[in-house]
Structures are given as C-alpha cells and as structure tokens.
Amino acid sequence: MSGVNDFAFKMATVNGTGSASANGLLMQAIFRMGIPVTGKNIFPSNIQGLPTWYEIRVSRDGYTARPEQIDLIVALNTSTYAKDVAAVRPGGYLLYDGSWPLDRELMREDITILGVPFGQMCVEAFEGDRTRTLLRNIVYTGTLSALLDIDMAVIEEMLREKFSKKKSLLDANFRAIEMGYEFARTQFSCPLPFHLKRMDATGDSIVIDGNTAAALGCVFAGATVGAWYPITPSTSLMEAFKDFCERYRVDGQTGEKKFAIIQAEDELAAAGMVIGAGWAGARAFTSTAGPGISLMEEFIGLAYYAEVPAVFFDVQRTGPSTGMPTRTQQGDFMATAYASHGDTKHICLYPANPRECFYMASAAFDLAERFQTPVFVLSDLDIGMNDWMVPRLTWDDAHRPDRGKLIPAAELERLAKFSRYLDVDGDGIAARTLPGVHPKGAYFTRGSGHDRHGNYTEDAAEYQEVVDRLARKISGAARAVPAPEFHLQAGAEVGIVSVGGCHGAVLEAVHRLKAQGIPVDYMRVRGFPFDTPVADFLRRHKTVFVVEQNRDAQLRALLTLETGVPRDQMTPVLDYGGLPLTARRVVDAVAQHAHQGTVA
C-alpha cells in the first residue's frame, strides 16, 4: 500500500532525449531529503529513439527491490502510451503531455489523469528544438516536485552544482523547473496522497552503481592492469577504473601513470592480457558480460591449469547469445563455475549490491593471488548500472594485499632448487616466482601436460598428480571465499536460498512472509565453491526454495552438483524476463506452498 515515503513512480520517455539526467536528479533529490530511495533504469539497446523507463521506489523502510506497483506514471512516449497507461495501479495517477489530446481509447476510469502541456510550454518559453526537448524533462521534474512535495531548495541546490559554470543553462533550468512546479500548484491538488516527507535515514549512505564501486575496489586493491573489450553492461566498470586512476594514480609532476588500461581487439585478447600481466606479477583484471566470458573460456582454462591469478568481472545480462543486452539476468553461474574445457572449477564471488562490489573486488585479487587461479565476480546489469543507496564505504588503511606464496629474490638465492608445482605444505597451493626476479626462479609455464616441476609430461601419474592437487586447491578455497549470509527465525521449517541481486527482494519477502505468519530461514550464498554451512542449511530444512534469475535453475544445479542434495528437494523460484526481481514473486511462491501444506 502506498503512502507517505512509500510509493513508486515511473517515467516513460524516449531514449536519447535527455530524460536520464532529469530522472537521476529526482532520485538524488529524494535521497538528499533523507528518504531511502532506489532508481532503476530500464533502457533499450539503442542510442536514440527507442522507449526507455525509469522507476523510482521510495521506501521509508529501506527496501531496494524493484517496485511491484506503480502509483504514478509520467507517460511521455507516445509509442508506449497504451502499455504505460495500463501499468498504473487502480487508483493511481497518470501524468501526460497535454499539448495534444490523449487518445480516448487510452483513457482509464479507475485512475486520475493529469495533463500538463509540457511540449507547448517549452515551445513558448525556449528557443531551439534540442533545448526544448531537453528542458521538457526539467519541466516534468518541476511538476513532480509539486505533486510529490520534493523540496525545491534541494532541487535548486543540485541544479546549481550541475550548472555552476554555465549561467545561461542554469537560468533556463530554473525557469523550466518553476514552470512545471507552478502549473501543478495552480491546476492540481498538491501534493498527491502519497508523497515525500523529510527523514533522516540516508546520512550514512551513498548513491552509487555497482560498476563504479567495483572499479573503486580495483583501485584500492592495487590493481594496475586492466584489459577489456567494450560490452554492455560492463563498459562503465573499466571507464570508472580509468577515471579513478586518472585521479589517484597520475604523478602530479611527471604526468606518469601508475596503471595500464588496454582496450583489446576482442575478449580473447583481453583475457590473455590479464593473464600475461598476472603471470608477470601485476594485479590485473577484465570487465565483461556473458558473451565475453564465452570468448574467454580458452584462456580461463589456461589460467586455471597453469595457475595464473586473474580477476574477471562478469556483469551479467540476458542470454543466451546476444540476448537482451540491456536487461538483467543471473545466467552465467554455470558458465563461470566450470568455465573452459576439461576438468575445471573456479572461485566465484556473488555481490548483492554496489557495496559488496567494492569489497568483493578487493577480495577477488587476494583470492586470485592466494590460490593462483582465475576469480570471477558475478555482478549483473541491475547492480552494475543502476544507482543504489548503500551504506558508506570505509577502507582499513592497515590492509595489505595477500600476494600468496610468492618467493622473493633473497629466498630464491638460498633455495637449492625451485619446482613450480610442488605442494610443500599440503594445502594444494604451490609457490610461484615472477619473471625477472632471480635466475633460480625460472620455470616454464604451459597449458600442456606438466609434472610437479613444470616440465612437459605425457605420463599418466605425473599428469594426475598435478590435476588432483588443483582439485584440492580449489576445494580449499571454499573456506576462503565470503561466507554465506544467514537470516534465521525460530521455528522456521522453510528455507530460502538466493544469491546476488535477488537479495533485496528476498529479504523484503522474508519480512512480509513473517508478517503473514510464515517464518522462513534465508541463506544468501556469497561465494563458490560452497563451504559446508551451505550444505548444512539445505539438509536442515524440509522445504527449500532456491530463488534466482535464470530459466534453468542454475544455482540449484550448482548446489546439487556440489553438495549432493537431490535437486527435487529444492524448489526453484525463477524470474528471467530481464527485469529486476520483485518481492511479490518470492512471497507468492512461498505462501502458495505454505497454503497448500495447510490444506493437505
């Protein structure tokens, strides 16, 4: 039910008309009013002309999942009017451009329709087509400010920050805001029943997207080499890394850069560069999406078998093939966990929000170097590209990177003989050396069959000794990856397992189920391979739901493969249409089951 500081509204516009910055302005203004808010951009794979939407959820309780109902829609795209009008909840509101009459067939009796002649107002007030188009967004921002009671002082402060150096633009924007605001104040009953009221709930938070946060994590982890090929939705990760490096890693006097970012010819080369750099001793990473992972598989197998640290950010999008590049999904669990041909298994981290993107980015480099192996950070489009409100990040200045078993020159000097793949202490991890450090450290890295000394082999026993150790090594990583997060309730017989970007919706669902008298335990897995607490949770619950965003229940498949818990004991709750998960999807699935149980 909507109410003060608890509602959702949505802007339907045309891609490339400048609505994105107006929508961002709205979201940030609400955040600055101290009210928890989430913005989700639902955009096309297009530069200009196709429909785009922006959903803003205001939640005094701090819920971040995608809204289930839309209380107000700003319908400014004629090509999607019908769909947009239908999207409003009964009793909700439609705001449209009243410069032209609304098609009679699109009218609805059960909603309130508000017309504002945005286009006409802009034509009268401003010169030039582009300016008029852009400022139309600011006019509706003004109207929404009146309807929702957004603090105009906050809006004006933000416009001043944005256009401080462009006086003429600032004036035009102020005028546009005023026009929209005044029209609403004089023509409509403001504010609407659901509206905003200042809170003090965002003081310790920031608004950031996951790709930016991950890039920041790479900077703090000491990554120096980034190699990549542009691909939606991961592009902004490497671009943010570049921006941060330009800011923090350029020598003020010489202009010399303490980083190397290489835009590769394709994802194959990007993976190769990362592995080459990791082999030479740099902390190196790439950012990509599913199609890139497919291309990188060959190199991933090499890094696994030759034991080279490498970090891969997979900002997942809808697959298979090109799929829907601007829609979200969790479709790469299987593709990353066992990427490449032959027997492989990889460390995977599953951040749930931008804050975890930051910390897991840093953890990924430590794990990659400690276990000398590829590490995947599986974010998704919703986490990576949307603005999330998350608690402020902090960094422990005492932190030192875990470089793993890396033999320095002085130690090599003392060593009688170095063998690259020798397991000295039984943890499956052999010590490595870097090129250029010491003549005794030299070894030959190869993806072909090798023995524990790194020499070429076609001998069955020598080959098996190495691959068996690799299996031991990766098993050991289960205890080093981020531990699962548990939300337990007394008397719960139902367990929910979920992962990554589903978290917000699942947590909200858990709270709502509790309110309905259905206690559930919730476990969010955060790393792969799974440690024993994961299997214990599955065995402890009679009924287990596995909530994830793909068609084939990939997380459930991984759980079955890795823990031995039969798949039929886990009920999948799947959502894979490309939009972020809603809490209702989870509540309905669990409540329906609980209800059936009672009836039976």
Partner 1 sequence: MTSILKPPVTHPSLPKNALGLTRRDYEGAMSTLCAGCGHDSVTAALITAFWELDVPPHRAAKMSGIGCSSKTTAYFMRQSHGFNGVHGRMPALATGANAANRSLVFVGISGDGDSLSIGLGQLCHAIRRNVNLLYLLENNGVYGLTKGQFSASADVGSTSKKGEANEQPPIDPVLLALSLGATFVARSFSGDKAQLVPILKAGLRHNGFALVDVISPCVSFNDHVGSTKSYRYTREHYEELAPVDFVPLRTEISAPQAADAVTAVRMHDGSVVRFRRTDDSYDPTDRDAAYAHVRRHQELGEVVTGLLYIDEGTRDLHALARTTATPLVDLPYASLCPGNTALQALQEEYR
Binders of partner 1 among 441-470, rule CB under 8 A? 441-448, 451, 455-459, 462
In angstroms, what is the minimal distance from the CB of 457 to partner 1? 5
Among 439, 491, 517, 566, binds partner 1 (CB under 8 A): 439
* Crossing angle between the packed helical segments 290-306 and 267-280, to the nearest 10 degrees: 30
Among 434, 535, 561, 591, binds partner 1 (CB under 8 A): 434
587 to 10, 504, 508, 590: CA distances (angstroms): 23, 13, 9, 5
8 to 89, 92, 577, 590: CA distances (angstroms): 10, 10, 21, 24
Q: What's the CA gap between 306 and 298, in Å, rounded?
A: 12
Q: What's the CA gap between 504 and 37, in Å, rounded?
A: 13
Q: What's the CA gap between 412 and 385, in Å, rounded?
A: 46
Among 88, 227, 349, 360, binds partner 1 (CB under 8 A): 227
In angstroms, what is the minimal distance from the CB of 402 to partner 1? 11
- Contact string (CB under 8 A) for partner 1, positions 405-424, x = contact: --------------------
Q: What's the CA gap between 314 and 328, in Å, rounded?
A: 12
**8 Å CB contact between 404 and 432:** yes
In angstroms, what is the minimal distance from the CB of 224 to partner 1? 4
- Contact string (CB under 8 A) for partner 1, positions 233-272, x = contact: ---------------xx-x--xxxxxxxxx-xxx-xxxxx
3-state secondary structure of 368: helix
Among 10, 13, 17, 32, binds partner 1 (CB under 8 A): 32
Q: What's the CA gap between 130 and 132, in Å, rounded?
A: 5
3-state secondary structure of 535: helix
Subset of 306-345 contacting partner 1 (CB under 8 A): 306
Subset of 127-166 contacting partner 1 (CB under 8 A): none
Tell me: does residue 280 bind partner 1 (CB under 8 A): yes
Q: Which stretch binds partner 1 (CB under 8 A): 14-22, 223-231, 482-490, 559-567?
A: 223-231
String of b and e for 497-517 (b: at least 16 CB within 10 Å)?
bbbbbbbbbbbbbbebbeeee
Tell me: does residue 435 bind partner 1 (CB under 8 A): yes
Tell me: does residue 224 bind partner 1 (CB under 8 A): yes
Tell me: does residue 168 bind partner 1 (CB under 8 A): no
Tell me: does residue 200 bind partner 1 (CB under 8 A): no
Q: What's the CA gap between 241 and 404, in Å, rounded?
A: 24
Tell me: does residue 302 bind partner 1 (CB under 8 A): yes
Question: Which alpha helices (H) appear in 149-265, and where do they start and end?
Answer: 152-162, 167-187, 210-221, 235-248
Among 437, 467, 480, 591, binds partner 1 (CB under 8 A): 437
Among 31, 312, 350, 371, binds partner 1 (CB under 8 A): 31
Subset of 380-399 contacting partner 1 (CB under 8 A): 392-397, 399
In angstroms, what is the minimal distance from the CB of 267 to partner 1? 10
**Nearest residue (CB) to partner 1, 197 versus 399:** 399
Size of interface with partner 1, in residues (CB under 8 A): 80
Q: Which stretch binds partner 1 (CB under 8 A): 119-127, 313-321, 434-442, 515-523?
A: 434-442
**Nearest residue (CB) to partner 1, 397 versus 568:** 397
Q: Which stretch binds partner 1 (CB under 8 A): 144-152, 176-184, 429-437, 543-551?
A: 429-437
Taking alpha carbons only, the member of 582, 571, 590, 596 closest to residue 513 is: 590
**Nearest residue (CB) to partner 1, 65 versus 216:** 216
Six-digit token string for 420 = 């690259």
Backbone angles phi, psi at 119, to 5 degrees: -60, -50
3-state secondary structure of 431: coil
